[in-house]
Amino acid sequence: MPRPHRLRAPFRALVATACTAVLGAGLLAGAGTATADQNAAPKAAEAQAGSRVVGYFTEWGVYGRNYHVKNVETSGSANKLTHINYAFGNVQGGKCTMGDAYAATDKAYSADQSVDGVADTWDQPLRGNFNQLRKLKKKHPNLKVLWSFGGWTWSGGFTEAAKNPQAFAQSCYDLVENSKWADVFDGIDIDWEYPNACGLSCDTSGRAAYKNLMSAVRAKFGSNNLVTAAIPADASSGGKIDAADYAGAAQYVDWYNPMTYDFFGAWDAKGPTAPHSPLSSYTGIPKAEYHSQATIAKLKGMGIPSDKLLLGIGFYGRGWTGVTQKAPGGTATGPAQGTYEQGIDDYKVLKTKCPANGTVGGTAYAHCGTNWWSYDTPATIAGKMNYKNQQGLGGTFFWELSGDTTNGELIKAIN
């Protein structure tokens, strides 16, 4: 069965000048101001602001990666998570739809693969990831699960959804609250890449479309369900944050997940090399506002409350090959080869394959042979957590669980 190629939440950084030009300067007008209607926000989240730890679980990870819900338990991650974002549901015909139904609801698990050691039977009403998540929640009663829709590959359907937000919201509610798995999910996460801007495809719905869609989702899901959203991290003037009314929509979400990773990567095949998730600026950074502190400062400056912003961490690295310079800023000949695709690899692989030997902008980089990689380590995550606490942010989220070690090194650093 074909699966989404690269849903690694954002590209997050930035497809390009050409896409922006398609939209025109008028569509990238300035940001709105967060409204005062905080009563629209739900009260369902048990985790206190600042302590939320949200990890993405990828639906397709059960195949080549051989990463299952049981691994969340055996790694010790389940004890440290407050929320799981299940990625991804699709958006088709302006509605929420299933992603891979086999992985989600049908795949049978043997006793040794199952969270609770009990094998699935042929006639049970629900199998797959959803049933395993149900078992994980039984072991961890405070753990919440949200179904995330969209992602890099499946965001094209949001353009049609924006034409009838109420119908979109109804379709999402009907799917998430399906009687077979309603107890599995505690809400919905919207990962639209990107409203009124370009990702894999370009959207021209207008600045108001995002606020209108999130308003409809909140109205349908009510105050007893969580509603969250992944949003862009591009803090440059006229960039992706400016393209939609994220401030106006903030009243409808429990929190935002600004995707503060993938600022730089081997889509710029010849470099210059730069860390994909810098916390702060540094001398020689290729684009001045492509770092987490600029993202958070811009969103807070728009009036979005600090406790509605989570800091994004990547459990993976991005890299180039043909690099002779150890420090950032070197030239390259193309993307370094990763385990599953070029230019990207998991932390659990890179920590041994190309150990970090430098830091810049609050994150780590590694030069080994002619390969140059950047990724976060337990030490740099600790620094990011200090920043998160100083800023009074609502917590941390990360992409994604299978990138960590079998004993959960990175999630331990978050905690």
Task: Give the separation between CA 382 and CA 313, rounded to whole angstroms.
Answer: 11
> Residue 32: which of 315, 201, 243, 262 has the closest Cα?
243
Read off the tokens for 413.
Answer: 């650093």
Q: Which residues are catalytic?
A: 193
Pure H helices in 260-329:
292-301
CA pair distance 194, 172, nearest whole angstrom: 19
Q: Which of 180, 167, 175, 299 is nearest to 232 (CA)?
A: 299
CA-wise closest residue to 290 among 269, 302, 272: 272
Q: Report the phi/psi class of residue 8: left, alpha or beta, with left for phi > 0 and alpha for psi in -120 to 50.
A: beta
Contact 87, 191 (CB under 8 A): yes
Contact 244, 196 (CB under 8 A): yes
Tokens for 165? 């937000």
Residue (of 300, 276, 301, 298) closest to 287 by Cα position = 276
- Distance in Å from the first CA to the final CA of the chain: 37
* CA 196/CA 20 separation, integer angstroms: 10
* Peptide linkage before 177 cis (omega within 30 of 0): no
Angle (CA) 226-232-238 rounded to 5° is: 135
